[in-house]
Structure 1
């Protein structure tokens, strides 16, 4: 960084000197007039200041949309938890894609070709919506009954319910709610219904319409 700053100061002087020689070849120019002697060119910047400047520049060059508690925020937060947002990943248990769908769940919403699903991001997004619509229909009475209540130390919200249903299925969510937290299922990696209900609470999922027959057309 110091070298670059020095170049930025010296080069303009050299450039001006060369232009002057080109325009006035017969004139007597005193090189001392263009000397950098005496100029303070050795800039010493502390490591902390350099890091702050670099971080500021990096932030200026980045665009990170703030999705907040919107439905898009809900989808992307859940996808990051499931797969870090990777459409083309398959976990050790064979769950597929950005939202980590199992083959049996895919069949429920009309998808019978896992390979086609894995390499089709648009289809994955449609599958997420259809699955959420179906889960919302299955859990419609429980959403109405328990939304806003405190269960096992967490506030029940629709988005938390839908996230937990995505993790463990709507049946497991029913058991959790109706047992008031005593029946807390988990997946093979240890993520629980309670954890998902808390982590993904408070998002706006009103765009999801409960639909018993929600399907995807590949």
Structure 2
């Protein structure tokens, strides 16, 4: 079964955007602990290009690139907002009610992203250890892939996908699937994100 979702992806100029290879984690990359933002800024390749590796920051920036090209101030054709393309309904679950305030505040967007990860990790707390390391539709399932897919399709749809062995596939309005996000965002270290029931954004 394939279900079409409202999308978190950016509008048409970015429909087919590919995450740069330098931002995609591979099985050979070491598992790194998340580092403070200021320390991350100091970790740069020659020429000033960040090297986030498989850390939380690497995950965050790779996902943001796929969602919006990393643009805090964009709104897509379906009304999804900001760097991570949040819907207002998801933001309201975390205590953010003003779309204009959210769109104009990069710090708030970063807090919302981390808060939503904690919320999804709570919802999927039983499924992550149950399915991580298995292969579904030819893709190795990892914690970071599951959390990325939950950002795309919602944690409930990811549960259905995993528990159906991949026969329940959700696809957004731009054609991006749960399987695609499981593959693209596998292998990042998400140990620094703690599951939290019904968390709210502190701002």
* Structure 1 equivalent of residue 160 of structure 2: 175
Structure 2: give runs of 5+ residues left out of the alignment: 1-44
Partner of 1:97: 82
User: Quick one: which of 56, 59, 69 aligns to 1:84?
Assistant: 69
In 1, the alpha carbon distance for the partners of 2:178 and 2:105 equals 28
Report the count of equivalent residues: 159
Deviation, 1:61, is: 7.2
Greater per-residue strand proportion = 2
Measure how far apart 1:142 and its partner are. Answer: 0.4
Name the residue aligned to 1:193: 178
Superposition deviation, residue 213 in structure 1: 2.2
- 1:1-218 to 2 correspondences below 5 Å: 62-218=47-203
Seen in structure 2, the aligned counterparts of structure 1 residues 151 and 61 have a Cα distance that, compared at 3 Å, is closer
Secondary structure of the corresponding residue to residue 171 of structure 2: coil
Q: Which has the larger radius of gyration?
A: 1
Q: Distance in 2 between matches of 1:81 and 1:65?
A: 17
Residues 186 and 148 from structure 1, CA distance in 2 versus in 1: closer, same or farther, beyond 3 angstroms?
Answer: same
Runs of at least 5 residues in structure 1 that lack an aligned partner in the other structure? 1-59
Structure 1 counterpart of 2:39? none
SS at 1:208 equivalent: coil
Q: Which has the higher contact order (CA 8 A, sep 6+)?
A: 2
TM-score, normalization: structure 1? Answer: 0.71
Runs in 1 of length 4+ with deviation above 3 angstroms? Answer: none
CA deviation profile, 1:24-81 (whole Å, cap 9, x unmatched): xxxxxxxxxxxxxxxxxxxxxxxxxxxxxxxxxxxx9721121111110000000000
RMSD over equivalenced CA pairs, Å: 1.1
